[in-house]
Amino acid sequence: MRDIDGRAIAKALGAEVSADAESLRANGTTPTLAVVVPTDDDATAWYVRSIERTAGRVGVECRTVHLSEPTAADLTKRLDALSADDAVHGIICQTPLPAGISLSEVGEHIAVAKDVDGANPASLGRLAAGLDTFAPATAAAVAEILRRESVPLKGKRAVIIGRSMVVGKPAAMLLLAEHATVTVCHSRTEDLPAVCAEADVLVAAVGRAAMVTADYVKPGATVIDVGTNPTDDGGLVGDVDAASVAARAGALTPVPGGVGPVTTMLLMRHTVTAAARCSLNA
């Protein structure tokens, strides 16, 4: 089994993004990403720092807006203001959200043109309709990795475990657009290992450490592990038991170092694309 190097893919993508950001800056537009952080959660703070570092490397300005225990009204007012701010090209809102506030409710206050992480339900609708839009970065990372690794999708069986708005559903639409035959599984799917074992491409987006074992994998399949499950010693493991699937899978994205770095870089790609569109319309 071959490990797919997400860091190398992110680096190649980063070189392209950086060149595009530089030419926008030369023409007077500084691509700018606003990161709204409505939580004091340590893991979120760590992730936001990694977004800031990646932004700095590729010439995207990152504006972090920290709100401590905001109400829904505080949060939506801030997102409305950022949506109306001509100097901001991309907006993301980090999770976890305060209790009682849903991502869809918040997402509706992110202008679709600036919705670089596909949080507005309207963005998902546009994706389903085949219209130009930003897919959630994690789902886009799944498709980007498969494209850069030249994994055949046309006519192939793709199985996705997970049906969330941020990963499973948009990933299904992106793979469908590549002419894969897509099955979406979830917690009520009967005989999950047998369904997964039909997949040429298996995407695990569940949030259960090492759930996917060799019996889920068709010999030679490409396995994309989206899961990020914290371990007791402060590390991360995926949804796939890499040691178990090693003898059957053709290729696997490791955790860490697989989907994660590509996701962060795609937030930059989307922000630079949004900035370029904005400068064309100016």
- The pairing of strands 229-230 and 236-237 is antiparallel
- 190 is a contact residue toward ligand NAP (CB under 6 A): no
35, with CB counted inside 10 A (0-12, 13-18, 19+), is buried
Nearer to ligand NAP, 242 or 278 (CB): 242
Residue 30 C-beta: closest distance to ligand NAP, Å? 26
- Piece of 29-37, 99-107, 127-135, 185-193 that binds ligand NAP (CB under 6 A): 185-193
- Choose the binding region for ligand NAP from 27-35, 63-71, 119-127, 204-212 (rule: CB under 6 A): 204-212
Please identify which residue in 64, 213, 229, 279 interacts with ligand NAP, judged by CB under 6 A.
229
Tell me which of 138, 253, 271, 273 binds ligand NAP, using CB under 6 A.
Answer: 138
Q: How far is the CB of 20 from ligand NAP (least distance, A)?
A: 22
d(CA 115, CA 107): 8
Of 207, 250, 254, 257, which one interacts with ligand NAP (CB under 6 A)? 207
Extract the tokens encoding 222: 């490409």
113 burial (CB, 10 Å; 0-12 / 13-18 / 19+) is middle
CB nearer to ligand NAP: pick between 147 and 186:
186
Residues 238-267 interacting with ligand NAP (rule: CB under 6 A): 259-260, 263
Q: How many CB atoms lie within 10 A of CB 202?
A: 28
Interactions with ligand NAP, residue window 40-79 (CB under 6 A):
none
Q: What is the dihedral of CA 56, 58, 60, 66, to 10 degrees?
A: -40
Of positions 178, 208, 214, 237, contacts ligand NAP by CB under 6 A: 208
C-alpha to C-alpha distance for 38 and 40, rounded to whole angstroms: 7
Q: Is 168 in the site for ligand NAP (CB under 6 A)?
A: yes
Measured from each CB, the residue nearest to ligand NAP is: 164
Q: Point out which span in 80-88, 143-151, 199-207, 268-276 binds ligand NAP (CB under 6 A).
A: 199-207
Half-sphere exposure of 163 (CA within 13 A, CB side): 8
**CA-based angle 62:103:264, to the nearest 5?**
35
Binding ligand NAP (rule: CB under 6 A), the pick from 46, 100, 188, 280 is 188
CA atoms within 13 A on the CB side of 273: 16
- Dig out the tokens for 276 from the structure: 């370029």
* Binding interface with ligand NAP (CB under 6 A): 138, 161-164, 166-168, 185-189, 192, 205-208, 226-229, 259-260, 263
